């Protein structure tokens, strides 16, 4: 794990501009995956699908990624209609730390809001998946 002081160093002098959170029911995600075969490709990137689909029951992993995508769009003030879900990718570092990569319209919305990076917290159980994201921008340069 990366020491706290090391991964927060780039936050000095910056401020949180927006926050989003979302909670997803894992059983609902499992049902959506079974009911709508195209849902995986419409909502998740190839890399996300590769990470999730290694499990016999990938619903928890999909649910927490969906929660993160919706949390980002909430933070940006648009809701699900703001950008394609595949324009928001949840990545996982080798040490387990999650991060976000935004492309296309999602990236443009973040840039317009002044967001330069994201803080991401993900958690899930067998029944619920929760994501909390914070868009971080440059601090005041007075």
- The answer to whether the annotation marks 60 as part of a ligand binding site is no
Paired residues of 98 in beta bridges: 92
Tokens representing residue 88 in the block: 């928001």
β-strands 117-124, 98-102 pairing: unpaired
Tokens representing residue 97 in the block: 């730390």
- The answer to whether the annotation marks 87 as part of a ligand binding site is no
DSSP E strand stretches across the chain:
14-25, 88-92, 98-102, 117-124, 128-138
Q: Which residues are within 8 A (CB) of 71 and not within 5 positions of it... i.e. 6 or more apart? A: 20, 21, 22, 131, 132, 133
Residues forming the annotated binding site for Mg(2+)? 22, 70
Residues forming the annotated binding site? 22, 70
């Amino acid at each position: 794990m990366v020491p706290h002081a090391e991964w927060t160093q780039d936050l000095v002098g910056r401020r949180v501009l927006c926050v989003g959170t979302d909670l997803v029911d894992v059983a609902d995600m499992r049902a959506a995956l079974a009911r709508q075969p195209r849902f995986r490709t419409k909502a998740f990137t190839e890399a996300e699908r590769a990470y999730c689909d290694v499990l016999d029951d990938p619903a928890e992993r999909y649910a927490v990624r969906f929660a993160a995508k919706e949390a980002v769009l909430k933070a940006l003030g648009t809701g699900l209609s703001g950008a394609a879900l595949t324009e928001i990718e949840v990545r996982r570092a080798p040490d387990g730390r999650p991060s976000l990569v935004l492309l296309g319209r999602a990236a443009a919305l973040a840039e317009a809001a002044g967001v330069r990076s994201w803080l991401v917290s993900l958690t899930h159980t067998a029944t619920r998946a929760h994501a909390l994201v914070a868009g971080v921008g440059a601090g005041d340069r007075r």
